[in-house]
């Protein structure tokens, strides 16, 4: 989070600084999974100059606050007329920083616009500038100010966990707080990378992946033991000592001692072959092959860099991309691409500087952080990361050697990924324009919502909503609706569609009304104590943050999978709720459900078909198929859950142990329901009160 640049030039970086001179022949790394990338590129505000009179008004406001600004380090917030937090910044001396804004001249268009919109300011002091950096990162993530660089994708990274709270440790993937006892290895760039590695580790070290409760209830080995992906400690297929040796080897391998583990396994394989124990030798051979598969999928493994996070930033067409690579134990554990929202007047170094503090606000740092650009707050960031980690963290911009090669490799990946993102966004924009033209809409389509229902004879009925925009399918905006109406006739698709749309747009109107009410009620900015703790976030911010670049919450078009009946149901719901400005279209399957012969229903037009090779038709088919996939997948998950549901789960106070005792005693839930109270009391571990609870659940006591 650097301070806003105070300069007269536009602040655009040179082609060399942007990485335009980097070669294009670098090998591409595996792209992160869809959920880890931004679903849409930010929409930039026009770079217009602020009116001189409004800038002067803002300067006067800032000068009034400058007189009472503290001299020490801290964080300041610039707030607009409607209570929106415009900018959050840190400074070694808040008073001096505010004074730089109060000059009123020599500012870029971005800073001038920010000054012109400022109506009040709030200050929070800290003990050190390092504390101010951490507090600033927290406030930016919380308030999402318009003029700050925003880390728009902030999901936690997955880890591999080898548990330490059980006699037979489990290997599993883990997200979130490290509250469970065990050894954590990571971070990995995606869940896909973790799952792939765990499967290979199971083949190599035969560690169990089942939960503790499943492990305790086994009476015979499961399928994973049969296919040689588990040693079977649950049924004593291996001794505890042998399993502990497997766990030790796995921990050593994940800790970077892969050569030692491979040499040990090769030695054991040769010994087994010499003593004619060919089955044992074959198993060891397969384990060595699994280890080779793990290392073979790491793509590039550094020779001299044991642990590092590598960051490289590039810019193209006013958009920024930051590629992050994770190296642990001399192994490449994946990469992830971020597309931060930032004003195009900022330099690459300024965007990267602002990005790093937000990135590490809730993540552990590697011992070495390598950057493609020299940032202003490098020493400050290193001090903050070192204080949090309890060990020294080096932040460097390498100029030569293998470290520089890693940074350049990340930059090539960032450039290629951003290029594909821009190309995909342009293609998606053309498809949305083609769709509007095909349906005869004059309004530009930014958000499309597609609805579909799924059920079997009315059971486990769900409605699905998928969302698409200029960035493709916006999976973060997908929604499912469990059909709740008791008056609904099972299998009535029209009534289901009415319920789904009523719930969706009633909520939308409620949220829009709340936002309008908040924007229309002027409130005074809160007074902040000038002496506050470093990370004590004060409450009472004037208004929720307003993200002017956010993806719209109101659709421009809703597309219904169905015929004229579903179309009329949707139109009736929107008319009854008073929803305006939302177009409706329905797509009916063609004869024999043939793709390409669909009939479309749009208000104000007769039913029509599109040309078989029309790009808009292919686009609509993709939208419909995605909605169908999403709805049916949700329905199947709900149906599967009902299949394994047990009546005992509905009884409060019956946990896994008592449930297992009852099933062992009676065999089935149906037999338990027929048991007498005296029989229930005889079950080991079930006292009289619990037996009465179970008996009353299955018998009407009115």
The domain boundary, picked from 249, 278, 296, lies at 296
Q: What is the CATH number of the domain that holds 90?
A: 3.40.1440.10
Is 27 inside any structural domain? no
541 part of a folded domain: no
| Gap between the Cα atoms of 406 and 61, Å rounded | 47
For residue 237, tell me if it sits in a domain. yes
Cα separation, 40 vs 425, whole angstroms: 8
Domain-embedded: residue 485: yes
Domain of 590, CATH number, reads: 3.30.420.340
CATH number of the domain that 663 lies in?
Answer: 1.10.150.20
- The whole-number pLDDT of residue 592 equals 58
Q: Between these two residues, 678 and 514, which has the higher pLDDT value?
A: 678
Lowest mean pLDDT among 1-15, 374-388, 621-635, 675-689: 1-15
Across-strand partners of 88? 77
E strand or H helix at 97:
helix 94-102
pLDDT at 594: 58
Q: Are residues 676 and 634 in the same domain?
A: no
Over the stretch 256-269, which tens digit does the pLDDT of each residue have?
666 667 677 777 77
For the residues 393-410, what does the mean pLDDT come to?
90
DSSP bridge pairs for 322: 313, 338
Q: By the 8 A CB rule, do 133 and 541 touch? A: no
How far apart (Å, rounded) are the C-alpha atoms in residues 328 and 410? Answer: 16
Domain boundary residue, one of 243, 263, 296: 296
Among 296, 311, 334, residue at a domain's last position: 296
Q: What pLDDT was estimated at residue 370? A: 93
**pLDDT tens by residue, 174-201:** 887 777 888 888 777 777 778 877 887 7
Is residue 114 located within the same domain as residue 172? no
Whether residue 403 is contained in a domain is answered as: no
Mean pLDDT value of segment 460-464: 85
* Structure-token pair, residue 130: 């390092």
Does 369 reside within a domain?
no
Who's near 105: CB < 8 A, 6+ residues apart? none
Q: Could you check whether the bond before residue 180 is cis, i.e. omega within 30 degrees of 0?
A: no
Q: SS3 helix, strand, coil % of the chain, rounded to 5?
A: 45, 15, 40
> What token pair was written down for 448?
């499309």
Which range (489-493, 584-588, 681-685) has the least confidence?
489-493
Q: Is the dihedral of CA 262, 160, 162, 178 positive or negative?
A: positive
Contact indicator for 634, 462 with CB cutoff of 8 Å: yes
* 152, HSE (Cβ side, Cα atoms, 13 Å): 24
Whether 44 shows a pLDDT value over 60: the answer reads no
Q: Is the pLDDT of residue 416 over 70?
A: yes
- Tell me the per-residue pLDDT of 609-664, one tens digit each, with 9 for 90 and over: 888 778 888 888 888 889 889 888 888 887 777 666 666 766 777 777 787 788 78
In a domain, 562, yes or no: yes
Same domain as 483, residue 561? yes
Looking at the structure, do residues 494 and 589 belong to the same domain, yes or no?
yes
pLDDT of residue 372: 92
State whether 276 and 132 are in the same domain: no
- By the 8 A CB rule, do 370 and 308 touch? yes
| 111 plus 214 within the same structural domain | no
- Residues 446 and 562 placed together within one structural domain of the fold: yes
Domain that holds residue 673: 647-698
The answer to whether residue 35 sits within a structural domain is no
One domain, residues 477 and 616? yes
Q: What is the mean pLDDT of the chain?
A: 77
**Do 676 and 636 fall within a single domain?**
no
pLDDT, one tens digit per residue, over 581-612 is 888 988 887 665 556 678 888 888 888 888 87
567 and 500, same domain (yes or no): yes
DSSP 20-58: TTS-S-PPPPPPPPGGGS-SSPPPPPP-PPPPHHHHHHH
Q: What is the pLDDT of residue 419?
A: 83
Judged by average pLDDT, the poorest of 50-64, 280-294, 498-512 is: 280-294
Q: Is 467 in the same domain as 489?
A: yes
Check: CB of residue 601 under 8 Å from CB of residue 607: yes
How many domains does one find in the chain? 4
DSSP label at residue 526 = P
Q: What is the DSSP letter of 249?
A: H
With a pLDDT cut of 70, the percent of the chain lying above it is 80
Mean pLDDT, range 362-387, rounded to an integer: 87
How confident is the model over 147-160, as pLDDT tens digits?
888 776 656 778 88
Residues 466 and 603 in one domain: yes
């Amino acid at each position: 989070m650097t301070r806003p640049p105070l300069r007269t030039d536009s602040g655009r970086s040179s082609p060399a600084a942007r990485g335009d001179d980097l070669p294009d022949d670098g090998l591409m790394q595996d792209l992160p999974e869809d959920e880890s990338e931004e679903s849409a590129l930010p929409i930039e505000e026009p770079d217009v100059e602020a009116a001189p009179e409004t800038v002067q008004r803002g300067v006067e406001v800032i000068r009034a606050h400058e007189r009472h600004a503290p001299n020490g380090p801290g964080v300041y917030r610039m707030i607009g007329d409607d209570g929106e937090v415009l900018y959050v910044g840190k400074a070694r001396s808040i008073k001096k920083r505010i004074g730089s804004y109060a000059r009123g001249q020599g500012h870029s268009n971005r800073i001038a616009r920010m000054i012109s919109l400022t109506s009040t300011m709030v200050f929070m002091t800290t003990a050190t500038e390092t504390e101010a950096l951490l507090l600033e990162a927290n406030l930016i993530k919380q308030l999402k100010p318009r003029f700050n660089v925003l880390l728009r994708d902030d999901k936690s990274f997955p880890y591999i966990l080898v548990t330490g709270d059980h006699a037979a440790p489990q290997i599993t993937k883990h997200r979130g707080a490290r509250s469970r006892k065990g050894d954590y290895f990571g971070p990995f760039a995606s869940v896909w990378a973790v799952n792939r590695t765990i499967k290979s580790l199971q083949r190599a070290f035969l560690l169990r992946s089942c939960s503790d409760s499943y492990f305790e209830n086994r009476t015979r080995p499961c399928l994973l033991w049969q296919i040689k992906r588990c040693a079977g400690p649950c049924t004593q297929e291996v001794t505890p000592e042998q399993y502990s040796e497997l766990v030790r080897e796995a921990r050593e391998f994940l800790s970077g001692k892969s050569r030692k583990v491979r040499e040990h396994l090769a030695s054991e394989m040769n010994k087994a072959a010499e003593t004619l124990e060919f089955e044992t030798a074959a198993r060891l051979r397969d384990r060595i092959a699994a280890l080779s598969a793990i290392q073979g999928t790491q793509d590039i493994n550094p020779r001299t860099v044991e642990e590092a996070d590598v960051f490289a930033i590039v810019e193209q067409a006013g958009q920024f991309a930051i590629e992050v690579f994770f190296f642990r134990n001399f192994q490449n554990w994946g990469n992830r691409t971020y597309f931060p929202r930032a004003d195009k007047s900022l330099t690459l170094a300024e965007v990267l500087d602002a990005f790093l503090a937000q990135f590490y606000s809730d993540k552990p740092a590697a011992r070495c952080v390598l950057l493609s650009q020299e940032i202003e707050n490098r020493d400050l960031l290193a001090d903050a990361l070192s204080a949090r980690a309890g060990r020294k963290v080096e932040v460097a911009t390498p100029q030569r050697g293998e470290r520089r090669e890693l940074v350049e490799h990340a930059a090539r990946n960032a450039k290629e990924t951003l290029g594909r993102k821009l190309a995909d966004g342009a293609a998606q924009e053309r498809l949305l324009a083609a769709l509007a033209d095909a349906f005869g809409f004059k309004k530009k389509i930014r958000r499309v919502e597609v609805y579909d229902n799924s059920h079997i004879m009315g059971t486990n009925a769900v409605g699905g909503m998928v969302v698409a925009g200029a960035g493709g399918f916006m999976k973060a905006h997908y929604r499912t609706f469990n059909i709740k109406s008791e008056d609904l006739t099972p299998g009535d698709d029209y009534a289901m569609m009415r319920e789904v749309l009523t719930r969706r747009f009633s909520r939308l109107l409620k949220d829009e009304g709340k936002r309008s009410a908040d924007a229309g009620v002027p409130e005074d900015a809160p007074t902040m104590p000038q002496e506050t703790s470093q990370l004590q976030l004060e409450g009472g911010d004037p208004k929720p943050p307003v993200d002017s670049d956010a993806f719209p919450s109101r659709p421009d078009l809703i597309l219904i999978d169905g015929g004229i009946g579903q179309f009329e149901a949707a139109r009736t719901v929107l008319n009854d709720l008073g929803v305006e400005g939302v177009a409706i279209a329905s797509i009916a399957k063609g004869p024999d459900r043939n793709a390409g012969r669909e009939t479309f229903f749009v208000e104000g037009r007769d039913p029509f078909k599109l040309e078989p090779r029309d790009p808009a038709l292919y686009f609509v088919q993709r939208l419909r198929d995605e909605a169908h996939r999403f709805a049916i997948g949700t329905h199947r998950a709900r149906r599967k859950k009902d299949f394994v549901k047990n009546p005992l789960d509905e009884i409060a106070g019956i946990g896994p142990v008592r449930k297992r005792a009852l099933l062992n005693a009676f065999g089935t839930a149906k037999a338990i329901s027929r048991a007498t109270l005296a029989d229930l009391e005889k079950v080991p571990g079930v006292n009289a009160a619990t037996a009465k609870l179970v008996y009353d659940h299955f018998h009407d006591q009115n």
